[in-house]
Amino acid sequence: MTSFDDAFNALIGNEGGYSNNAADPGGETMWGVTARVARASGYAGAMRELPRDTAKAIAKKLYWDPLRLDELDQRVAFQIFDANYNGGHPVIWMQGAAGAKVDGLIGPATIAAVQATDPLRFILRWNALRLTYFTSLNTWQTFGKGWARRIANNLSKGAA
C-alpha cells in the first residue's frame, strides 16, 4: 500500500459516505467529494452512487498530487491532505508550520522546509494553525464540534 492509499483510507474515516446537509456550504457530497467537484471531474451519475474509486482518483489528482505529498513524511502528508480535502489554506499552513517564507506558493523551498521540520513538531504547529483558522469562521458555531473532533483524531493519527 502507498502513502496515498493509507491517507485516503484514513480520510474516508473522517469524511464518511453520503451527505446532503442544507447547512453545509459544500452541498451534496459522497466520500467528501462535492457534486460540483465530481461534475467538474467528469462524473455524471447520482452523487449517492459515486464509486469510492472515483472519489479516490479525484482526491489524488486534486488534493494530493498538487501539494507533492508523496515527497513528505506520511504522517505530515496525511495532515496536509486532510486539510486540503476539508478546506482551508494548506500551502500557507505548510509554510507557517515549517517556518518557511509564507507566500502561498508551493515550490522547492516549501517542500524542503517541510521535509527539514521534525514531523511531530510540524503536526503540532499545523493543527494550531488549522484550529486558529476554523475558530475564525462564521460557521464555527455550526461545524466547530465536528472540525475539532476531526483535528483531535488527526493528532492521534500523527502521534501513531
pLDDT band of residue 153 (cuts 50, 70, 90) is confident
- Is residue 32 over pLDDT 60? yes
- Please give the residue that has the higher pLDDT: either 55 or 19: 55
Report the DSSP pairing between strands 33-34 and 18-19. Answer: unpaired
- Is residue 26 over pLDDT 80? no
Q: Is 121 helix (H, G, I), strand (E, B) or coil?
A: helix
Q: Specify the pLDDT at position 107.
A: 95
- Is residue 1 over pLDDT 60? no
Q: Which helix (H) or strand (E) holds 136?
A: helix 119-136
Provide the grid cell at 111.
517542500
CA separation for the pair 27, 20 (Å, rounded): 6
Domains in the chain, please, with CATH?
3-159 (1.20.141.10)
Provide the grid cell at 98.
515549517
Q: Characterise 2 by phi-psi region: left (phi > 0), alpha (psi -120 to 50), beta (else).
A: beta
pLDDT digits (tens, 9 = 90+) for 115-128: 999 999 999 999 99
pLDDT band of residue 21 (cuts 50, 70, 90) is confident
One-letter amino acid of 88: G
Q: Specify the pLDDT at position 106.
A: 95
- Is residue 15 over pLDDT 90? no
CA separation for the pair 78, 56 (Å, rounded): 14
- Please give the residue that has the higher pLDDT: either 32 or 121: 121
- Is residue 55 over pLDDT 80? yes
- Is residue 25 over pLDDT 90? no
Residues whose CB falls within 8 Å of the CB of residue 128, separated by 6 or more in sequence, listed in order? none
- Please give the residue that has the higher pLDDT: either 88 or 38: 38
Mean pLDDT, to the nearest integer, of 137-156?
A: 89
**110-135 burial code (b ≥16 CB/10 A, e <16):** bbebbeebebeebbebbbebbeebbe
Mean pLDDT of the chain: 91
